[in-house]
Amino acid sequence: MDTSDTSGQLEEAWERVHATGPERLGRLSNHAPMVVEALATRGQAGAVHRWLDRYRTKLEDFPDRVAPVTDANWPSALGDPHRAADWIDYFTRTLADHPWRSVLAVWWPRLLPGMYGGATHPVIRVGHAVRTLESGENAPRRTELAHALGYWAAVHHTVSGVTLLPGAATAAASLDAVPAVRTAENPFPARLTAVRQLPDWSGDVTNPDTARERLTELVRAATHRYATHGHGDEIMLVHAATAPNAVLRTLGSLPRELWVPSLHAAWTASAAVTAMYAPAEAVDYAPTARLTAEEVVERALDHGNEHVIKLTDTALDIGDEQALAAAQRAIELTVPLS
C-alpha cells in the first residue's frame, strides 16, 4: 500500500502549503503538510488536493520576517516563535548548499532536546518530510524539510525538573506506570510544566540497535494504548504515538550515534503526553467490524480529521489488528473535518 509514486500531486500540494504559515492563532499547528504526505504515501495521492480544499480554512498566511538567522546568531533565535519565517529562510538556504542528510545530522542533536515545543508537531512534520526524501529527492521535498526544521527551531522548548521513577520491563507497562497529571490548565505548555515524574524506561539503553528496537516497541505500545485510553483526549493522545514514530522514521537517515539520545527524547515526549491527558480509567474496546488496512485508510480520508489520518498512518506502520483498531477508535472519537 505504501508508494513513492505521487505523480506530482504531493509536490503540488506542498507548494500550496508552503505559502502558508506553520501555525494558526499563534498556537495551533498547520497539519496540512503532514496529512498530504501521509495520504500520498498510503496510495491516496489523488485525494490530497481535495483534502487540502477541506482544510483551507485552518491555514494562515506565511508569517512576517524579522531578521535573518545565520550560522553566527542562531542560538539567540532558537525558541523564538516570532522568528519562524527567519528560520525557514535559514534552512532553505542551508539545504540549497548542503545535502539534506548532512544538515539533518548537524541540526537533529541541536533540536532534539526541544521537541516538546509546538506540542511535538515539528518533529512529526520532520518525520513525514524525511520519509518522502528517502524515497526520492526534489525541490518541494527539500523545501518541506526546511519548513519543518524551521518550525521546530522557532518553537523549540525543553523540559526540566522531571524526577525519574523506576521503569517497567516493557513500553506498555511503563506507559501504564506514568503518573497522571491532574490540572485545570488547558494549553499544552502549561500542562507540560505540571509533569514532574516519569518512569525511566529508556535510561539503561546505550546500544544504537537496542535503541531502535525499543523505539519500535514504544510506537507499537502507544498506538495500541490509544484504543483503550484515547477517550482521555482524543486529539492530544494521538501524539503519544505519532511523535515517537516520527523519530523512528528518521533514525535511518541519522548517524547511529544519535539513535540512543533519540530514544530518550521520544520516550520522554510519549510519556509526558500520556501523563498530561490520561483518562481516569481505561475502557475495553473492540471495533464493530474487522477492516483491512486499505478500508481503514479510506474511512480515515472520508472522516478527514487531520489527527485521525496521522494516527492511521502510524497504525499502518505497525500493521497489526490492535493498531488498526486504534485507528478505528480515533475515527469514532474524533469530530470529522467539515
Over residues 229-238, the pLDDT tens digits come to: 999 999 999 9
Q: Provide Rg for the chain, Cα atoms.
A: 19
Residue 214 lies in a domain: yes
Could you tell me the CA-to-CA distances from 141 to 25, 52, 97, 122, 130 in Å, in that order?
26, 17, 15, 16, 9
What is the count of structural domains for the chain?
A: 2
Could you tell me the CA-to-CA distances from 33 to 6, 55, 124, 330 in Å, in that order?
14, 11, 10, 20
Q: Are residues 171 and 214 in contact, defined by beta-carbon separation less than 8 angstroms?
A: yes
Position 184 confidence tier, pLDDT thresholds 50, 70, 90 = confident
Could you tell me the CA-to-CA distances from 314 to 24, 34, 201, 231 in Å, in that order?
24, 12, 22, 18
Q: CA 102, CA 95: separation in Å to the nearest integer?
A: 9
Residue 312 lies in a domain: yes
Position 3 confidence tier, pLDDT thresholds 50, 70, 90 = very low
Residue 2 lies in a domain: no
Q: What is the mean pLDDT of residues 205-211?
A: 98
Among 140, 155, 170, where does a domain finish?
Answer: 155
Residue 320 lies in a domain: yes
Q: Are residues 151 and 169 in the same domain?
A: no
Residue 189 lies in a domain: yes
Range of the structural domain that residue 139 is part of: 9-155
Q: Are residues 124 and 65 in the same domain?
A: yes
Q: Are residues 40 and 8 in contact, defined by beta-carbon separation less than 8 angstroms?
A: no
Q: Are residues 147 and 166 in the same domain?
A: no
117-159 per-position pLDDT tens digit: 999 999 999 999 999 999 999 999 999 999 999 999 999 999 9
Specify the DSSP element, H or E, that contains 149.
helix 139-155
